[in-house]
Homo-oligomer: A and B are copies of this chain.
Amino acid sequence: MSLITELASQAHSAARTLAVLDTERKNQVLLAMSAALRANVDSILTANEQDLNHARAAGLSDAMIDRLTLTPERVEAMAQGIDTIVKLDDPVGKRRELCVRPNGIRVSKLSVPLGVVCMIYEARPNVTADAGALCFKSGNAVILRGGKEALASSLAIADVLQQVLQLFKLPKALITVVPDPDRALMLELLQQRDYIDLVIPRGGEGLINFVSDNSKIPVIQHFKGVCHLYVDKAADVEKALNLLLNGKTQRTGVCNALEGLLVHKDIADTWLPIAAQALEDSGVRINADRRSAGYFNGANILEDQEFGQEYLRLEIAVKIVDSLDDAMEHIAQFGSHHTEVICSEDIQAAARFQHEVDASVVMANASSRFSDGGELGLGAEIGIATTKLHAYGPMGLESLTTEKYLVDGHGQIRE
């Protein structure tokens, strides 16, 4: 048996033990994990120093090195993240009654863990603790395959968590770090359909495409975030301005930042001059359709087919639309099913937009930047899905479970 098959099959067996652990016990283990991270901060930082030395020697970018760097505060944040997960509701074991059939059998559904979750990610060592704790609380074993840049740090964090597992007589294989970042081994991991139930890649579009194209296991896909703000004719001008600036400028390199602005023609004369000034003051580069270009200084003209770009920097696409329907049509064509926002005081317009726009998160009068697990109250987020199966949007503990049917009878047979 190869190393990868062995790791996967051990995780699969370990998952059975965890699936039946009660909430109180799981929380005790999680609290011991956060305490152990705090107690072992020195060994974690020592391992991280190794990763940083390699990263500096390899000439990695400052942004990459920043993502990789652990400090006592960042380890404390990881521990606090686990403490937060302790407080979340256990998603496993929830019974939902469906019906009692005419023959008297009682049919219900019971939420159960998925089994084994495989995380594939790049250079963020904190994913090891976050995903480890989220999967543990939801009753799943996890296999963590991080980038080689953070390997020593990930192994050190996993080692601390595994020591806690052993203290509680639980199998170490509940939290497994793949010790070799070789791509061939990742490919092998993606074939383990018998042992792994779900793959969650986190990283750039290249990584997600590679995993999707090569996996025999279902993959949570999260491609890109081309999010729009539609400023309706019935918009409150101040709210619209706040939502625009917050969505575009508060943080630009993230998937829930705004990339497109659609403005109803009836409000253009009132609102666009103010918005244009504010965007200019914030240093946002403007790409505009011919109709809206005149409101801006030095806008780049966008042709119809050029919309839909994910800029991830201080740059935005602007278009004037004739109606709510035209706005929704534009979003259907150029959106990425991530997050879409309407700003309107017209309750009916807002409701139509929310019901009809096909995106995982549809907001009325709130910033696109709220589109993540923490902000939406999930407590923590294991990933985000922009494909519609199983989960759609930010995924918390509930998305790490499914439901099985229970049937209770008193000897009924089928005629």
Contacts and interface: CB of A to CB of B under 8 A. Distances in A.
A75 to B, nearest CB: 25
Interface residues of A, number: 70
Contact of A411 (B236, B375, B393): B236
A412 B370 contact: yes
A167 interface: no
Contact of A388 (B212, B393, B402): B402
Q: Which DSSP category, helix, strand, loop or mixed, fits chain A's interface?
A: mixed
B389 A239 contact: no
A20 B328 CA distance: 13
Interface string A378-389: 000000000111
A392 B388 contact: no
A354 B93 CA distance: 11
Contacts of A246: 413-414
B405 A243 contact: no
A350 to B, nearest CB: 8
A354 B409 CA distance: 12
Given A236-B411, A355-B93, A412-B370, A101 B375 contact: yes
A198 B387 CA distance: 10
B390 A242 contact: no
A356 interface: yes
A399 to B, nearest CB: 10
A250 interface: yes
A114 B389 contact: yes
Contacts of A360: 404-405
Given A362-B406, A404-B362, A405-B361, A243 B411 contact: yes
Contacts of A354: 110, 406, 408
Given A362-B406, A369-B414, A376-B407, 4 more contacts: A20-B355, A101-B377, A363-B408, A390-B402
